[in-house]
Amino acid sequence: MENETIVKKVLDGDFKTIARLITLIEDENPKAIKIVSKLHKYTGKAHIIGVTGPPGVGKSCLISRLIGEYRRKNKTVGVVAVDPTSPFTGGAILGDRIRMGEHTLDKGVFIRSMGSRGSLGGLSRAAGNTIKVLDASGKDLIIVETIGIGQTQVDIVKYAHTVIIVLMPKMGDEIQAMKTGFYEIGDIFVVNKADQEDADKTVMLIEDMLKLEKGKIKEKIIPEWEKPVLKTVALTGEGISKLVEKIEEHKEYLLKSGLIERFKEEKSETEVLDALTSILQDYVLTRVKETEEFKVLVKKTSGGEIDPYSAANQLIKKILQKNVLS
C-alpha cells in the first residue's frame, strides 16, 4: 500500500491499517518512520493517560473499567499495554485479552499490547510512535499501561499528560522503598483492591509520602495540583467514576495552568533530539565511515600521530560544511 493511502486510512481510523502500521513500527521498518512523520501534524488532540504500578495490582482491570466509563461518555479510547518483561508483541497479550476483552469488538476502542524484543529504548520509541498513530486516528483518550519498576516506567510515562500510579493494600514496605521519583511522576494515586483489608492504611501511607515529597519540591507551580489518593475496586467498578472525575480535573488543570504547552514543548525537544541523534548516528556509520578521509585519520590515530578526539573533531568540521540530510 502507498504511504499516502496508509496515512489516509489511519486518519479514517481504519482498524486493520492501524494494526499493520504498529507492526511496522515494532519492526523498526523505515517505512514506518516516514508514515509517522506524515501523521505528526494530525496529532496533539488526544489526552494521554499513563497507568503504572507494580505487577498484579489490577492495572488492566482498572483500565477496562475506565474504557467502560469513557465509552458511556461517547469518547473513543486507544490502549497501549507495554510490558518490558514480555517477549510478546502484536495483538493483545493473553491476560489483557481476557481483562479488557469485553471491549475488543467495540469499534471505538483499540487495544494493543507490546513487549520487548530488543532494547528498552526501542520499546519506548515504539510505544511513543504507537501513541502518535492512535492520536492521529482520532482517539479522544489514549491509555498507556506499564509495569512500574525501575527506569522503564519513567521512560514511557513521559508521553502521558496524566499519570496514574496504582498500588494495593498491604504494600507498606514497597511504598516506603519506592524512589522519590515515583511520587514525583504521579498525578493521581489509586489504591485498588480496596475490597481487601488495610486499604485505608495504605491510603494514609501514600498521603504521608506525598506530604514528605511536597516539602522537597523546589519549583512551585501556581495553581498547585493537589495529588489525590483514591480507593477503587476494579472488580466491581467501585470508585471508578471518582477516578474519571479526577482525570478530567487534572486535564482541566493542565489547560488552565498552561502546563500543557510546556509539556508539548518538552516532548518536542526530546523528539527532535532523538531524531537528530538517530540521523547523525546513521550518517556517521554509513557515509562518514566510507570516506577516504576517515580511513586516513584512522591510520593516523593508530600510528599515534593523532588522538581519536582530534580525528573526530576534524571529521565533524567536514560534516558541518555539508548538508547531512542531502
Ligand X SMILES: Nc1nc2c(ncn2[C@@H]2O[C@H](COP(=O)(O)OP(=O)(O)OP(=O)(O)O)[C@@H](O)[C@H]2O)c(=O)[nH]1
Among 9, 99, 161, 250, interactor with ligand X by CB under 6 A: 99
250 lies in the binding site for ligand X (CB under 6 A): no
How many residues touch ligand X (CB under 6 A)?
17
193 lies in the binding site for ligand X (CB under 6 A): yes
Stretch that binds Mg ion, among 59-67, 158-166, 206-214, 303-311 (CB under 5 A): 59-67
Cα–Cα distance, 219 to 170 (Å, whole number): 33
**Angle at 306 (CA atoms; ends 301, 308), nearest 5 degrees:** 60
In the bound complex, what is the minimum distance in angstroms from residue 206's beta carbon to ligand X? Answer: 16
106 lies in the binding site for ligand X (CB under 6 A): no
CB 61 within 8 A of CB 99: yes
C-alpha cell at 101: 476483552
Nearer to Mg ion, 58 or 186 (CB): 58
Helix (H) or strand (E) holding 189, with range, is: strand 188-191
| Locus of grid cell 516506603 | 176
In the bound complex, what is the minimum distance in angstroms from residue 93's beta carbon to Mg ion? Answer: 8
Burial 191-203 (b: 16+ CB within 10 A, else e): bbbbeeeebeebb
Footprint of ligand X on 222-241 (CB under 6 A): 233-235
Terminal C-alpha separation, the chain: 26
| Coil, helix or strand at residue 89 | strand
Cα–Cα distance, 278 to 243 (Å, whole number): 39
**Angle at 250 (CA atoms; ends 249, 251), nearest 5 degrees:** 90
Count CB-CB contacts under 10 A for residue 186.
25
Nearer to ligand X, 197 or 269 (CB): 197
Q: Checking DSSP bridges between strand 77-83 and strand 141-147, what pairing results, if any?
A: parallel
57 lies in the binding site for ligand X (CB under 6 A): yes
Nearer to ligand X, 37 or 86 (CB): 86
C-alpha cell at 321: 560544511
In the bound complex, what is the minimum distance in angstroms from residue 109's beta carbon to Mg ion? Answer: 16
Nearer to ligand X, 60 or 162 (CB): 60
User: Residue 233 binds what, of ligand X, Mg ion, none (CB under 5 to 8 Å, by partner type)?
Assistant: ligand X
User: Residue 80 binds what, of Mg ion, ligand X, none (CB under 5 to 8 Å, by partner type)?
Assistant: none
Name the residue with the smallest CB distance to ligand X.
Answer: 58
147 lies in the binding site for ligand X (CB under 6 A): yes
User: Residue 61 binds what, of ligand X, Mg ion, none (CB under 5 to 8 Å, by partner type)?
Assistant: ligand X
In the bound complex, what is the minimum distance in angstroms from residue 320's beta carbon to ligand X? Answer: 47
195 lies in the binding site for ligand X (CB under 6 A): yes
Listed residue (221, 213, 168, 217) closest to 190, CA to CA: 168
Among 180, 196, 278, 291, interactor with ligand X by CB under 6 A: 196
| Locus of grid cell 477503587 | 232
In the bound complex, what is the minimum distance in angstroms from residue 203's beta carbon to ligand X? Answer: 14
In the bound complex, what is the minimum distance in angstroms from residue 164's beta carbon to ligand X? Answer: 12
In the bound complex, what is the minimum distance in angstroms from residue 212's beta carbon to ligand X? Answer: 25
Stretch that binds Mg ion, among 56-64, 282-290, 291-299, 318-326 (CB under 5 A): 56-64
Cα–Cα distance, 233 to 97 (Å, whole number): 20
Listed residue (183, 184, 153, 194) closest to 51, CA to CA: 153
The residue ranges that bind ligand X (CB under 6 A) are 55-61, 95, 99, 147, 192-193, 195-196, 233-235
The residue ranges that bind Mg ion (CB under 5 A) are 59-60
